[in-house]
C-alpha cells in the first residue's frame, strides 16, 4: 500500500477582478479579470512550473497563494485549511511555511541592512532562534546557499547579482518553509549564473524536501526543474502536464495556446524534428496577430479566453469554458475540441 502524496496548496475556482479606469477622467471604470476560475494544486516535494505570456496572471496568482492579497471568489487552501478562514496564529504559521524568492535580488534586499541584519529579521519575527545563536544560524544559512559566512557583515551592493540572489534564497530558507514561490528567480542573472542558481534550487529541494512554485518565461528551464507544468493564458489555466511531455515531440501539449507558446521559443538546435520545424510559423503569426485583434476585450471572458485566436474554436467556446479533460495520468486540458 502506497501513501497518498500530501497536497500543500489547493486552488479551487480562484477568480480575481480589479477595477480600473480606461483613461484618467473616466470615473465609470471597468473590470479587468486577472484570474478566471483557476484550479491548481501543489504536492509536497514537487516543483510546479507556471508559464504564460507577460500579463497573463502568473504573479497575481503567486501573490494570492502567498496570502498577500485576497481573491475575488474561489478558495486557496494550505494543507486543507482555507487562507481566508485562518486565525492570527494559523496565518503566522502559514507565513513561516510559505516563502518567496523575488525576480530582482537588487530591489528585494534592503541596501541599508547588512546580510546579518537581513537574515536575522525572519528569525526574530518567528522566534526561531535564541538571541545568542543568531550568528551561528546566519552562518549556517549562508553556508546552505554556498556563500562564505565571513561575509555576513557586508551590504548587498558589495555582492554580485548571483550572490544577492543566494542571499534572498537564504532569507527564504530562514523560516524553514515547506513551499517556496520563485517568481522569475533567474531572469535578472547572466546565463552562467542562472545555471548555478538552478542547480542550487534542485539541491535544496532534494536535501530539505522543499516544494516550489516556479514561475518563468524560460520554457526549457521550466521543463528541467519541474515535475509538472501549468500553462496560463489571460488568467485561465489551459493545460497541466508532466514536464517530460511539455516539450516532447509525441504525447506532448494538446491545447492550441500551448503549441503557440512553445512555437515562439527559439530552438537553434541542428536536426530539429519535423514537428518542431513546422510549428513555428503559424504559432508566431497567431501570437503577433493577437496585438491587432479587435476581439481582445478587457471585459471578463465568459468562455474560453483563447477563443479569438483558436483555430479549433466553435460558437460554443464564446460562452462556455469546458471543464478539465483528462488526457492521461497527470495531463489535464481545459478544451474539448482537440
| Range of weakest confidence among 36-45, 155-164, 227-236, 306-315 | 306-315
Q: Which residue has the higher pLDDT, 242 or 299?
A: 242
Percentage helix, strand, coil for the chain under 3-state DSSP, each rounded to 5: 40, 20, 40
Report the C-alpha gap between 14 and 61 in whole angstroms.
Answer: 9
Q: State how far the alpha carbon of 137 is from the alpha carbons of 52, 126, 174, 264, 285, in Å.
A: 38, 14, 9, 45, 53
Q: Is the pLDDT of residue 145 over 90?
A: yes
Task: Identify the band that residue 189 occupies on the pLDDT scale cut at 50, 70 and 90.
Answer: confident
In which band, very low, low, confident or very high, does the pLDDT at 280 lie, cut at 50, 70 and 90? very low
Amino acid at each position: 500500500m502506497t501513501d497518498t502524496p500530501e497536497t500543500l496548496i489547493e486552488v479551487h475556482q480562484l477568480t480575481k477582478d480589479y477595477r480600473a479606469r480606461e483613461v484618467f477622467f473616466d470615473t465609470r471604470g471597468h473590470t479587468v479579470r486577472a484570474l478566471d476560475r483557476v484550479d491548481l494544486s501543489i504536492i509536497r516535494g514537487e516543483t510546479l512550473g507556471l508559464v504564460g505570456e507577460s500579463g497573463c496572471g502568473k504573479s497575481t496568482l503567486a501573490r494570492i497563494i502567498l496570502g498577500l492579497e485576497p481573491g475575488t471568489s474561489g478558495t486557496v487552501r494550505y494543507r486543507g485549511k482555507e487562507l481566508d478562514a485562518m486565525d492570527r496564529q494559523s496565518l503566522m504559521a502559514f507565513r513561516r511555511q510559505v516563502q518567496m524568492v523575488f525576480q530582482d535580488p537588487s530591489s528585494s534586499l534592503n541596501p541599508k541592512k547588512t546580510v546579518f541584519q537581513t537574515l536575522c529579521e525572519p528569525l526574530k519575527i518567528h522566534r526561531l532562534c535564541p538571541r545568542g545563536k543568531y550568528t551561528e544560524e546566519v552562518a549556517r544559512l549562508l553556508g546552505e546557499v554556498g556563500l562564505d559566512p565571513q561575509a555576513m557583515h557586508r551590504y548587498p551592493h558589495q555582492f554580485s547579482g548571483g550572490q544577492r540572489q543566494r542571499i534572498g534564497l537564504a532569507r527564504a530558507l530562514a523560516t524553514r518553509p515547506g513551499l517556496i514561490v520563485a517568481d522569475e528567480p533567474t531572469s535578472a542573472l547572466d546565463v552562467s549564473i542562472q545555471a548555478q542558481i538552478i542547480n542550487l534550487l534542485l539541491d535544496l529541494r532534494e536535501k530539505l524536501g522543499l516544494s516550489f512554485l516556479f514561475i518563468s518565461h524560460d520554457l526549457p528551464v521550466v521543463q528541467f526543474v519541474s515535475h509538472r507544468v501549468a500553462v496560463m493564458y489571460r488568467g485561465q489555466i489551459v493545460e497541466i502536464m508532466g514536464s517530460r511531455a511539455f516539450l516532447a515531440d509525441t504525447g506532448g501539449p494538446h491545447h492550441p495556446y500551448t503549441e503557440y507558446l512553445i512555437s515562439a521559443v527559439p530552438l537553434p538546435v541542428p536536426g530539429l524534428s519535423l514537428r518542431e520545424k513546422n510549428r513555428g510559423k503559424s504559432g508566431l503569426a497567431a501570437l503577433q496577430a493577437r496585438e491587432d485583434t479587435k476581439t481582445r476585450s478587457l471585459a471578463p471572458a465568459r468562455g474560453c479566453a483563447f477563443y479569438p485566436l483558436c483555430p479549433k474554436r466553435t460558437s460554443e467556446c464564446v460562452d462556455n469554458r469546458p471543464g478539465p479533460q483528462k488526457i492521461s495520468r497527470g495531463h489535464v486540458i481545459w478544451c474539448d475540441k482537440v
